[in-house]
Amino acid sequence: MNEANRKIIWKLITSTGDRMKDKLPESKFHPKGRNPYAHILLLVKTKFGCSYKDIDDDKIETLKRFIRYIEDNPR
């Protein structure tokens, strides 16, 4: 992914994480609360098989939709 797209995606991840604070279900593994930013990054890595930085530029719209899906469906 090129630098411009990386910045766009990082801004989307951080703004989505900000909105998800205190909205993720509680977990016995995270007694102090879950980290929404780490949650988003882990799900992206699981779905795409790599870090968001390593996703091809032609998949940026798919990545944006997936991040919006994560926000709409916290788990």
Minimum mean pLDDT range among 18-22, 27-31, 61-65: 27-31
Digit-coded pLDDT (tens) for 2-16: 999 999 999 999 999
Q: How far apart are CA 36 and CA 18, in angstroms?
A: 8
List all residues 6 or more positions away from 9 whose beta carbon is below 8 Å from its beta carbon. 1, 52, 60, 63, 64, 67
| Banded model confidence at residue 48, pLDDT cuts 50, 70, 90 | very high
2 vs 56: CA distance, rounded Å: 8
Distance between CA atoms of residues 71 and 23, nearest Å: 9
22-37 confidence digits (pLDDT tens): 889 888 888 888 999 9
What is residue 14's predicted lDDT score, i.e. its pLDDT? 98
Residue 54 has pLDDT above 90, yes or no: yes
